[in-house]
Amino acid sequence: MTNRIFRAMWLLSLVLASACGGSPTVPANQSATTTSVPAASTTTTTIPPPSVHYLGSITPSGSAPLPFDMSLFFSIPGGGIVAPASVLRPAAVAQVTGGYQAGTGAGAFSGTVQGTVDNGVFTGTLTASLANGCVASRQYSGALTSAAANWTGGADGNTCAGASPLTFSGVSAAASGTVTSVPSTCTYSLSIGSTIDGYPNGGSFPVTVTTGSGCAWTSTTNVPWIHLPASASGTGPGTFTFTADATPGQNRTGILTIAGKTVTFNQSIQCTYALSTTSVNATSTAGTYNVTVTAGTGCAWTATSNASYITITSGSSGNGNGTVTLSVAANTGSARTRTVTIAGQTVTINQAAVVVAGPACNSQQIAGGDAPDTRSIQMGATAGTFTFTYDTFSQPDRIVVSYEGRTLFDTGCVGKAETVNLTFSGSQSAISVAVTPNCAGGSGTSWQYSVSCPR
C-alpha cells in the first residue's frame, strides 16, 4: 500500500499551558526598557504537490471553538487521498506522521487513517516536547478526509506533571486550497524584556513580535488591570500596544504571556526621587551645569526654571533615571540667587557677581557703599605674602579674599578695622576680593580696603 504522509502546522497560539515557552533574555540594567531576544531563523519544508491546506479551529475543554489557522498538508504521490476520485479501500490502513507548531510550543503526531477519501478516520497520538525535556502525549481521533479533519481528544499518555499543553478537547478544520511549502520551525522574540518594574501611574507599552511569516501567536494576561488590544495576536511579525491601569494604592504583579514568552509586570505604589545636588554655585560667566535624577522605572518627573536667565537645555522631563542640564547666562551685576524645580524638589542656583578688574597691588585704596563689589587685583607674582588692610566702619559688611578658588581670609559680618598678613602660592598672579555690604541688614554702609604687593 502506498505510504501516505501528512504534516500539520497549527498557526494560532492555542489556549494551552505555557510550559513549552521560554522567557526572553533580560539585559542587566533592565531599563525597562526593553531588550529584544535575538530572532532565530525560520526554515521551510517543501511539500511536493498535490497537497491540501486546511483552515480550522480548536475547542478548549468546556468552551466554544476558537478560530485559528491550522495547516494540514497531505502529499500522496500519484494523487491518493488528495484526488476526490481516489477512494481508499475500506480495509486499507495508512500510517501517517506529521508535526504542529503553536505560539506556546511545538510537537508531533503519528497514527493511522483508515477508510475512504470521503470517510477516513484518524486514530493516533499527539506529543509535545517541553523545555524541561519531558514529552507530553495524548490520544486524538476522528474524521480525516480530503475535505475536513475533525478530531476529539482522548486519554492522556504523559501529562508531564500537569504541564502538558495538549489540553484542548477538539480540532476542526476544512480544506481551503493547495500549498507547496510550510515553515518547519517557528521561533519568537519580543522587543520588551521579561520584567517590567514600577509604573504606579500605569501607561502604554508597545511590543514588537518577531517571527516567521507563517507563525501564529497570541497574547494573554492573568489580571484585569492589564489591557490587551485585538491586535495582540496574529500570524507572522506584528506590533501592538497594551495598557496598564494606575495602581489603586498597593503593590501588585501581573503576568503577560506573549507568543509563549512570559513578561512579569511588578507595579509599585509610589515613586521616589533623588537629586545629585540641591545647590549649584555658578560663576559670573555663562556656563552649563548638570543635575542627575534617580527614580524608579516608570516614575515620571519634570524640570522647570524659576528665573529668566536660567534655561533648561535638556531633561525638561523624564521617566526613571535622567539628567537635567541647566544653562546659566553671564552675570553683569551683583551676586544673585534663583531656583529651579526638578522632580518636585527645589535646586538653588547661586551665581557670583561679575568680577571687576581692579588695580594692581599698592596702587590705591578701594572703597564703596551699598553695592556688592568683586575685584581681581594683580599681585605681580604667583606666590608671596602681602598685607590686607580693611575698614567696614560701624555698619557690618563682609569681605572675602580668595586665590585660585581658595579662601585666604574672611572678615565675617563685622563693623571694624583690621590689618592682616596673607600668604598665597599657585599658578595665577591675581587675587579676588569680594565685598557683601550690609550683611546684617540695613543700608547706608561704607567700606574700604587696600592690598600691598607681596614681599
Q: 214 — phi, psi (to 5°)?
A: -105, 15
DSSP annotation of 20: G
The confidence score (pLDDT) of residue 362 equals: 83
Q: Are strands 279-282 and 345-351 parallel, antiparallel or unpaired?
A: parallel
- Three-state SS at 175: strand
Per-residue pLDDT at 3 exceeds 50? no
pLDDT > 90? residue 395: yes
pLDDT at 312: 96
By CB atoms closer than 10 A (0-12, 13-18, 19+), residue 447 is: buried
Cα separation, 177 vs 190, in Å, equals 32
At 4-14, the pLDDT tens digits run 222 232 222 22
pLDDT greater at residue 178 or residue 436? 436
Average confidence (pLDDT) over 79-84: 29
What is the pTM assigned to this prediction? 0.35
Please state which CATH number belongs to domain 190-267: 2.60.40.10
Query: Average pLDDT for residues 242-271, to the nearest whole number?
Result: 87
pLDDT at residue number 148 = 74
Q: Indicate the burial class of 20 (C-beta count within 10 angstroms; 0-12, 13-18, 19 or more).
A: buried
Distance, in Å, from the CA atom of 412 to the CA atom of 439, rounded to the nearest integer, reads 9
Summarised one tens digit per residue, pLDDT across range 428-441 is: 888 999 999 999 98
The model's pLDDT over 142-153, given as tens digits with 9 standing for 90+, comes to 887 767 778 888
Q: Lowest mean pLDDT of 105-119, 158-172, 313-327, 373-387, name the range.
A: 105-119
* Fold adopted by 273-351: Immunoglobulin-like (2.60.40)
pLDDT digits (tens, 9 = 90+) for 157-176: 888 888 887 777 777 766 65
Q: Under CATH, which number does the domain 356-451 receive? A: 2.60.120.380
Find all residues with CB under 8 Å of 256, minimum gap 6, and list them.
219, 220, 221, 226, 228, 242, 262, 263, 265
Instruction: Give the tens place of pLDDT for each residue, 348-365.
Output: 998 887 766 667 888 778
Q: What is the pLDDT at residue 360? A: 80
Select, from the ranges 15-29, 69-83, 430-444, the one with the highest average predicted confidence (pLDDT). 430-444
- Does residue 87 surpass a pLDDT of 70? no
Q: Do domains 190-267 and 273-351 have the same CATH topology?
A: yes
pLDDT at site 361: 87
For position 17, what pLDDT does the model report?
22
The more confidently predicted of residues 282 and 1 is: 282
- Confidence check: pLDDT of 82 > 50: no
Condensed to tens digits (0 to 9), the pLDDT of residues 40-73 reads 222 233 333 334 445 555 566 655 555 444 444 4
Going from N- to C-terminal start, the domains of the chain cover 5-24+34-183, 190-267, 273-351, 356-451
Residue 293 has pLDDT above 90, yes or no: yes
Model confidence at 197, pLDDT cuts 50, 70, 90, reads: confident
